Structure 1
């Protein structure tokens, strides 16, 4: 196992039923300055520890039955974080302070959660993936002014290749001409990555063109008249010619 700057432990359990496959994940990760303890199901967070606010968080939608990890879940996460950092120091001593591996984000996208309607509440999403180690720092601006109200970011989620994904959100009310940006910072970046979102007028459906009159019947009618005249002329010619032969 290759040791990296972030020591990460993953515990995955596959739960198989007759018609579905679910993945349960438990993450304990740490570095000198950051740490993460999270439980998830099918790439969705069920619970994580917020070490800055010193509390546990249940980022579950209100329409599902609540899931609880017990009153001592946050204290257990703090203990796991301490153990993780102890193991990190032992690994450094054993490998003589291995050089850090750093991967800059391979993809940054900004988009809205819902279709844009002016004055209707919406959410901007800044999707960052392919980076190592975790986390990234994401900041928002509105019309070149830093904004924090209504912003949030999830805990780093591991990808299959060992890198991470994080999603930052900003609640906003679309107004014509407003310009938003999300700025991504990471240890492997020499300068921040910036993505811009312009609030533009929603496209209006084009007025359908009036159907043009069909030329088919007129053409066929014209051909019918011409053929009829030619037939009449031919008939007259043969009649006259027959009269001369009498």
Structure 2
């Protein structure tokens, strides 16, 4: 899938700590719904993105790495350029949409999995993870229930992450203490879904070795000169 309008600027730098060349990729992505994403990649791994709601740079790798990710782009007016490029990219998106007579935006419906973060023990605090994947455009709503009633306390929602096919994935978590007979649900709403998508989970007291059918997360690889963030999935057997 292709974004409606994407401007990509790539340039190489030579690390001050080594004679090995590294590639920094600057990506500005605009969507027809008005959303703009700007991020930097170091050797094809994301190191920061721009949070326009907070007007700040968000580093996605630890600052204690050597070299410090914040020092890689030192001397560059990253935030100011991001604001300028956001306006430019948005204008180009409007122009492109007008030239194509504003065709309908492509959409991909999400799929979701609901599973506990740890082996379940009754009365022991745990986290339920609602993993939503393969959706486009990058806008979803996630809601939780316990025994049919809405739950908001202990709920968190990650930012969305891009997949290689142009779709996105996102995590919502619920901190809870399982009790026998409780039933939890995670409901996902997205513009590509005709009706909300609901996943249901309840503790199985007959088997305390419960685990997720699939666990997905973000890992960090450390190298001599920097870091890499990677997405991984591990299969489990249990329920």
* Common fold by TM > 0.5: yes
Q: Considering only CA atoms, is the larger Rg found in Structure 1 or Structure 2? A: 1
Q: Quick check: which one's helix share is greater?
A: 1
How many residue pairs were aligned?
Answer: 193
The TM-score, its normalising length taken from structure 1, stands at: 0.61
The TM-score, its normalising length taken from structure 2, stands at: 0.62
Task: Give the match's secondary structure for 2:179.
Answer: coil
1:84 matched to 2:89: yes
Deviation at 1:190, TM superposition (A): 1.6
Q: Quick check: which one's strand share is greater?
A: 2
Mapped to 2, the partners of 1:180 and 1:24 lie a distance apart of 43
Structure 2 unaligned residues grouped into runs of 5+: 12-21, 210-239
Query: Which aligned pairs between 1:16-165 and structure 2 lie closer than 5 A?
Result: 26-31=26-31, 32-40=33-41, 45-60=46-61, 67-68=69-70, 72-105=77-110, 107-143=111-147, 144-147=149-152, 149-160=154-165, 162=166, 164-165=167-168
Structure 1 unaligned residues grouped into runs of 5+: 14-21, 206-246
What is the alpha-carbon root mean square deviation over aligned residues? 3.7
Mapped to 1, the partners of 2:134 and 2:207 lie a distance apart of 33
CA contact (8 A) 2:154 2:175 kept: no
Alignment deviations for residues 148-170 of structure 1 (CA, whole Å, 9 cap, x no partner): 5440222231333x3x1222131
Mapped to 2, the partners of 1:141 and 1:193 lie a distance apart of 13
1:53–1:3 CA distance, 2 compared to 1 (3 A):
same
Mapped to 1, the partners of 2:178 and 2:56 lie a distance apart of 36
Alignment deviations for residues 87-140 of structure 1 (CA, whole Å, 9 cap, x no partner): 1011122222223222222x2112233333445554332222222222323233
By relative contact order (CA 8 Å, sep 6+), the higher-ranking structure is 2
Query: Which aligned pairs between 1:203-218 and structure 2 lie closer than 5 A?
Result: 203=207
1:25–1:201 CA distance, 2 compared to 1 (3 A):
farther
